[in-house]
Structure formats: structure tokens, C-alpha cells
Amino acid sequence: MNDLAPDEGERLARQLDWNLLRTFVAIVQEGGITPAANRLLLKQPTVSNALKRLEDRIGKRLIDRGPGHFRVTDAGETLYREAIEIYGSISRLTIAVRDIEEAVRGHIAIGMASHVIFPPFDESLRDFSAKHPQVTYDITVATSAEVVGWVLEKRASFGVCLVHKQHPKLDYFHLYRQHFGFFCGPGHRYFGRTDLTLDDLTGEPSVSFSTDQLHDALRPVALLRASIGLDDTIRAMSPHLEEVRRLIIAGVGIGPLPVHVVQRDVRDGLLWQLPPYDDPPEIDIFLATNPASRLNRAETQFIEDLRQRVTALPPAARQFPQR
């Protein structure tokens, strides 16, 4: 092939019909005009004319052919290799564009109750963020009632929370069940004792969650607390697990915490579990979504991934231990 000056190369790139290259590739691969025409579903004269036009544009003979004779010239071999590279690039470009179009983008706003500790949820975050690096997140911790309100107002993509009474405008998907136990800190007189009963807790100074009410999400805990006479002994309250834990460890009072969440604190000697041991209050945690919300692809796919992950779990993995 003739070496082209930069302006000639640019002109060729502008004026060259890419279909001529496609036809030339077929001629070389099929080893003749007629089989190439059959492959391309074209008439033989159309393919012959395309070859002639390409040779005129390039300025080199690309195929030596005659009766019983077909040979690709050196120029033809060079052009064939370049053409294959061009079509490979076009193919890769198509895939790249498709991947860009299919890339999951968007922002996910999550409302989360403070005492939600669920490893499969963390695993979903880990895997989803690794798979879709262009997705951003916002996690806000609040009471379960506030989380439900955000989902209703479409301020949150979804909520993970305790549910006392399901709202008719929301959809609920059960994630797991946890058990609440009563605990004391290392300075408490009951720390380390194994001979206690519920009667021993009566009248003890206590701390609790703001939602520990008969009409709220921690109703089972409130019922137990009322039954053992802790209603009139509350010295401090907080909507956040971390602060209730802090109050208990500091010795402000005994109080309820999710058993599976504080197992490490028990092993480390920071907390001690008190009665009841055999039948502690059960609290169910739900994924709350609003069917009226117009979710982006990131929100929709994350919710679906989380549901599938949880559905695939054995029942035991969705039921946290009592002690």
C-alpha cells in the first residue's frame, strides 16, 4: 500500500465507505467473489464492484483473480489485517457502550433503626458497592417510627426497622427476629451472678429506649418491663442503641439490649445478661418499602438483591440466639 500523507489519510478516513471493508473481509475469508456474495446475501457483480471501488480508493491491487485463480496480494494481506483490527475495535466499542448504558448509578437513602445488626445486610452493602462503584449511599439512624415516616414521605429509598403496626401504604419484608435481654454493667451488684430470677430485678434503677412503650416498636420489652415493676425506675432513655449501651455499662441502670448485638461485650466483661434467660422478648425486623416511590436502578436492584439474599438463608440464620 502507498504511504499516505497525513491529509490524504484523513481524507481517506472521511470518504471511505466502511461497507467496502466489510465486503473485502468477506472476500478474503470466503476465498472468492461468489462465496462472499452468498455470505453477504448480495449479487456477485455488487461484490466485484465493491472490490474495485476499494482498490481504486486505496490505490493498490488487493486481489489477483482469474479463472481458477485467487490470491490475496501483499497489500491485500496488510489491508485485511487492519480491517480485522478495525472491526474488532468496533465490536469492543459496542460492548463498552452497552456496559456504560447498563452501569448502575444512583443514590440510595437508607433509614435505619439503631439496634439493627444483621450481617446479611452488611454483606449486601459490601457486594453491591463492589459490583456497582458508581452508586452512592446515605444511611441515617433514627427511631423506627421516624424511619417509617421517611419511607412514607419518599425521603428514604427504604427503611430497616422494628414494626409495631404495619402501615397500609407500605410493603414489609421480614428480615430476621432478634431477642432482647436485660443487662447490667460491670459495677452493678448483679454482675457475674447466675442465681437471679425476674423477681430480683423488681425496683432496680433502669434505662431504656425511647421506643420502649406499649404503643411503640419495643412493645414486647415494655410489657416485660411493666410486669417486673421497672416502669417507675427509669433514670435515662435514648433512641440509640449505642447510648443505651453506654448508660448500662456506666451503671446508670439495668436495661434491654439485643442479645446477639452485645455478645462481644458480654465476652469482654462489659455487660452481664440478667433474667429472663429462657423466654426473652422477641422483636421482628423488617425491610419497609413504598410501592408508590419511583426508585432509580440502584435502589431497585439493591432492594431486590437484599431480598434474594435473605430469602436464600436457612431459617436459623434469621433467628438470633437468646443468650
Instruction: Using alpha carbons, select from 284, 313, 318 the residue that is nearest to residue 162.
Output: 284
d(CA 181, CA 163): 19
Instruction: Using alpha carbons, select from 68, 78, 87, 67 the residue that is nearest to residue 21.
Output: 87
d(CA 115, CA 69): 82
Specify the residue for cell string 432509580. Answer: 296
Average pLDDT, whole number, for the chain?
85
| Contact status, residue 73 vs residue 56, Cβ threshold 8 Å | no
Counting residues of the chain whose pLDDT is more than 90, the rounded percentage is 38
d(CA 157, CA 121): 15
DSSP for residue 275: S
Give the pLDDT confidence of 187-236 residue by residue, as tens digits: 999 999 999 999 999 889 999 887 656 555 567 777 777 777 776 788 99
Query: Strand (E) positions, the chain?
Result: 63-66, 69-72, 106-113, 135-142, 158-162, 171-184, 206-209, 234-238, 255-258, 272-274, 282-289
Q: What is the mean pLDDT of residues 252-265?
A: 91
Give the type of residue at 93: L
d(CA 241, CA 197): 25
| Contact status, residue 23 vs residue 49, Cβ threshold 8 Å | no
DSSP for residue 318: G
Give the type of residue at 132: H
Give the pLDDT confidence of 154-194 residue by residue, as tens digits: 989 999 988 878 899 999 999 999 888 899 999 999 999 99
Q: Give the range with max mean pLDDT: 114-123, 203-212, 261-270, 276-285.
A: 261-270
